[in-house]
Amino acid sequence: MPRVLALLLFAIAVVLPSQAAAQTSAPTGGAQFGLPEPAPIVTPGSVATLLPDGTAAAPADAPPQVQAAIHAANRLVNKPYKYGGGHARIEDSGYDCSGTVSYALHHAGLLKTPLASGGFMRWGVRGRGQWISVYAHGGHAYAIIAGLRLDTSAAGVSARVTRRFSKALERGPRWRPTVRSARGYRVRHPDGF
């Protein structure tokens, strides 16, 4: 009897998951049984928290769209910088500054199609938002989402800060633990946020 139980447990633990994983690559449009995306990490309060792995925990008090923007941006933290990335298609192999901001806003349901930096200068409502602010000029764009900066540039990040957040100095879409100068940028936000 113990041998039968061991075989049954083996089938449940090894065979069934491998069959489900094999179905994830089926191009037939049938059921997909891949691993579910991890649940978004949420932190108490109204300010996002930068985690040691470079992702951000969304604040529990934030509206669902803000939490969705943070969760979406977390998927980009290991992507490389790619000029024009995220513009021709929202899912890309790398992202530039405005492609990064577009990705987060698109997945939050706040932007239909990606915008270039200049497009963000006229997007949304003028001024800072309560939850999301997009800073843009003709050559760069970044966002502050629930108090945390989403940017492809490490401007304003010191080496002292990177001891705790090693990804903060890397080039590409990253959450940055510090603010940067907004001089020369127009500030816009999605209506209601």
**Alpha carbon distance 116, 171 (integer Å):** 19
Q: With pLDDT > 90 as the criterion, what percentage of the chain qualifies?
A: 64
Confidence of residue 58 (pLDDT cuts 50, 70, 90): very high
| Each residue's pLDDT tens digit, 26-48 | 344 444 445 456 667 889 999 99
Return residue ranges of the chain for CATH 3.90.1720.10: 42-189
Lowest mean pLDDT among 20-24, 141-145, 163-167: 20-24
DSSP 3-state assignment of 137?
A: strand
Maximum C-alpha span of the chain: 75
**Alpha carbon distance 103, 90 (integer Å):** 6
Task: Indicate the fold that domain 42-189 takes in CATH.
Answer: endopeptidase fold (from Nostoc punctiforme) (3.90.1720)
Residue 15 has pLDDT above 60, yes or no: no
Residue with more model confidence, 124 or 5: 124
Tell me the whole-structure pTM to 2 decimals: 0.77
CA R_g for the chain:
20
What's the confidence (pLDDT) of residue 167? 64
| Arithmetic mean of pLDDT over the chain | 82
**Alpha carbon distance 102, 48 (integer Å):** 19
Residue with more model confidence, 170 or 9: 170
How far apart, in Å, are the Cα atoms of 113 and each of 65, 85, 88, 119?
16, 13, 9, 11
Residues with Cβ within 8 Å of 71's Cβ and at least 6 positions away in sequence, in order, are: 40, 58, 107
Instruction: Give alpha helix (H) positions in the chain.
Output: 2-10, 16-23, 64-74, 97-107, 117-120, 159-162
**Alpha carbon distance 51, 28 (integer Å):** 38
Instruction: Give alpha helix (H) positions in 33-148.
Output: 64-74, 97-107, 117-120
